[in-house]
């Protein structure tokens, strides 16, 4: 389609500074309190005009395109607007899949935020947020980004949180943890009760990265390790590094993240983790959510 607009979006990852999972609710979901923190590890989502909707990715994701959350986001927005979902979605993946880093949710948010420009239409923010919530608990967060406390089933925004900039190393063991299986394992184990997010929130408010590192909490950790035992190895490895102030599993796993005191320390830890056989990246805090990095005419 000569002369048509192409929209390119950045879709960031997240880590959970706090994740407290509670009892199963009447609707079958669990009560969840979580403090989500955006990092600058990101996918690139490119939207181009097409007839109908299609999707490709530069890595094998193990699911059909129509099962992908980004694909479903395009269909959901088109249905809401009463139009055909005319878009080709191309995913350049840097966020590991099945790692608890929110990659699929962020890709979906990028599609929701980018399609109005591609389709040359305006969509109210509350409409995008409503559609996002219907796709998954983390999707609304990525429309805004930063750091925020969510409750409910992890999808109800309580408030944004002021947090210090963190130098973070993401360490992944290479085996995904399916979310549904993690929650089933959590129920089977009768895992650790959550203390509430107050300590993490106070640490964020202090402006101290070290205080945040010392306050990290995730009571899904045992469930994640039961499914992918090597997560325990990654945690032990991180805890053994002098430059790591604190570490935790992100979401339901399989990624572990470590907070370091400086960018130089994070780079050193990431390099050492790679040498130890893990997938690892040094990253840092971000606060912009999904964003458009270019919108230009195709040739």
pLDDT-derived band at 62, boundaries 50, 70, 90: confident
Catalytic annotation present for 86: no
pLDDT (tens digit, 9 = 90+) per residue, 178-196? 999 999 999 999 877 899 9
Q: Give the pLDDT score at 201.
A: 98
Contacts of 135 (CB under 8 A, 6+ apart): 69, 72, 73, 76, 105, 108
Average confidence (pLDDT) over 13-22: 98
Helix (H) or strand (E) holding 81: helix 69-81
Strands 217-218 and 5-24: parallel
User: Following CA atoms 101, 105, 110, 111 in sequence, which dihedral angle do they give, to the nearest 10 degrees?
Assistant: 150
Taking residues 229-250, report their average pLDDT: 98
Rounded to whole angstroms, how far apart are CA atoms 180 and 25? Answer: 15
> What is the pLDDT, as a whole number, of residue 88?
98
138 part of the active site = yes
Task: Give the pLDDT confidence of 144-166 residue by residue, as tens digits.
Answer: 999 999 999 898 999 999 999 99
47 has a pLDDT exceeding 50: yes
pLDDT of residue 3: 47
CATH topology of domain 5-161: Ribosomal Protein S5; domain 2 (3.30.230)
Q: What percent of the chain has pLDDT over 90?
A: 90
Please report the pLDDT score of residue 191 as a whole number.
73
- The pLDDT score that the predictor gives to residue 4 is 66
The domain locations on the chain are: 5-161, 167-284
Q: What is the DSSP string of 202-254?
A: HHHHHT-HHHHHHH-EETTHHHHHHH-THHHHHHHHHHT-TTEEEEEE-TTSS
The share of the chain scoring above pLDDT 70, in percent, equals 97
Q: What is the pLDDT of residues 77-136, one digit of tens each?
A: 999 999 999 999 999 999 999 999 999 999 999 999 999 999 999 999 999 999 999 999
Whole-number Cα distances in Å, 164 to 117, 134, 186, 207, 213: 33, 31, 31, 5, 11
Q: How far is residue 171's CA from residue 259's CA, in Å, rounded to a whole number?
A: 11
Q: What is the pTM of this model?
A: 0.95
* CB contact at 8 A, 179 and 249: no
Superfamily designation of domain 167-284: GHMP kinase, C-terminal domain (3.30.70.890)
- Choosing from 33, 86, 138, 167, which is the catalytic residue? 138
User: Would you say 216 and 258 are in contact if contact means Cβ atoms under 8 Å apart?
Assistant: no
Question: Residue 294: its pLDDT value, please?
Answer: 72
DSSP 94: -
Average pLDDT across the chain, whole number: 95
Say how far apart CA 68 and CA 55 lie, in whole Å.
Answer: 8
pLDDT value at residue 5: 81
Tell me the pLDDT tens digit for each residue of 192-221. Answer: 789 999 999 999 999 999 999 999 999 999
Return the SS3 of 173: coil
pLDDT surpassing 90 at residue 67: yes
């Amino acid at each position: 389609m000569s002369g048509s607009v192409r929209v390119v979006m950045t879709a960031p990852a997240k880590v959970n500074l706090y994740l407290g999972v509670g009892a199963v609710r009447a609707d079958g979901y669990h009560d969840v309190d979580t403090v989500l923190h955006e990092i600058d590890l990101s996918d690139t989502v490119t939207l181009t005009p097409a007839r109908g909707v299609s999707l490709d990715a530069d890595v094998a994701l193990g699911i059909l395109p129509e099962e992908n959350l980004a694909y479903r986001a395009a269909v959901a927005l088109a249905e809401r607007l009463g139009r055909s979902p005319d878009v080709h979605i191309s995913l350049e993946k840097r966020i590991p899949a099945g790692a608890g880093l929110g990659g699929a949710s962020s890709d979906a948010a990028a599609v929701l935020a980018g399609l109005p420009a591609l389709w040359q239409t305006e969509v109210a923010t509350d409409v995008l947020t409503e559609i996002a919530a219907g796709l998954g608990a983390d999707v609304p967060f990525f429309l805004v980004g930063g750091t925020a406390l969510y409750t409910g089933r992890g999808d109800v925004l309580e408030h944004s949180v002021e947090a210090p900039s963190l130098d973070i190393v993401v360490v992944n063991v290479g085996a995904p943890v399916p979310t549904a299986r993690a929650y089933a394992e959590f129920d089977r184990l009768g895992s650790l009760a959550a203390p509430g997010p107050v300590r993490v929130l106070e640490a964020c408010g202090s402006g101290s990265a070290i205080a945040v590192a010392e306050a990290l909490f995730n009571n899904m950790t045992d469930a994640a390790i039961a499914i992918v035992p090597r997560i325990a190895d990654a945690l032990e490895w991180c805890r053994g590094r002098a430059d790591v102030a604190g570490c935790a599993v992100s979401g339901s796993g399989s990624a572990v993240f470590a907070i370091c005191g400086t960018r130089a320390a994070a780079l050193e830890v990431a390099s050492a983790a790679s040498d130890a056989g893990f997938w690892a990246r040094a990253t840092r805090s971000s606060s912009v959510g999904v964003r458009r990095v270019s919108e230009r005419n195709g040739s």
